[in-house]
Amino acid sequence: MQYVNIFNAIEVYVSKEIFPANEYDLTFGDRKDEKVMLRYYNTRTDKFSDKPYWNYQTALDIARKKASDRRYKNFEFYIDLIKVAA
């Protein structure tokens, strides 16, 4: 999966499936209640933690706050769409 760093100073990456094509729909449009996956990546231990219960705007706000917090200096944050099995 490919990601785009949408902020230069902090480590928040958004999937190319979301940015830029679907970002407006997930923020303000018809798909604003769609759930996304917020993944915490610890660069020191090389482990991921998944949090799949937020919409895009909430996940982006949480990722921004945590990325600017000094306690999360070893983390990168990734936002993906949740794939639904057919």
Token pair belonging to 72: 């999360």
pLDDT, tens digit (0-9, with 9 covering 90-100), for 11-68: 889 998 888 888 899 999 999 999 999 999 999 999 999 988 789 999 999 999 998 8
Token pair belonging to 15: 């999937």
| 20 vs 1 pLDDT, higher one | 20
What is the reported pLDDT for 86? 56
Global confidence as pTM: 0.84
Q: What is the 3-state secondary structure (H, E, C) of the chain?
A: CCEEECCCCCCEEEECCCCCCCHHHHHCCCCCCCEEEEEEEECCCCEEEEEEEEEHHHHHHHHHHHHHCHHHCCEEEEEEECCCCC
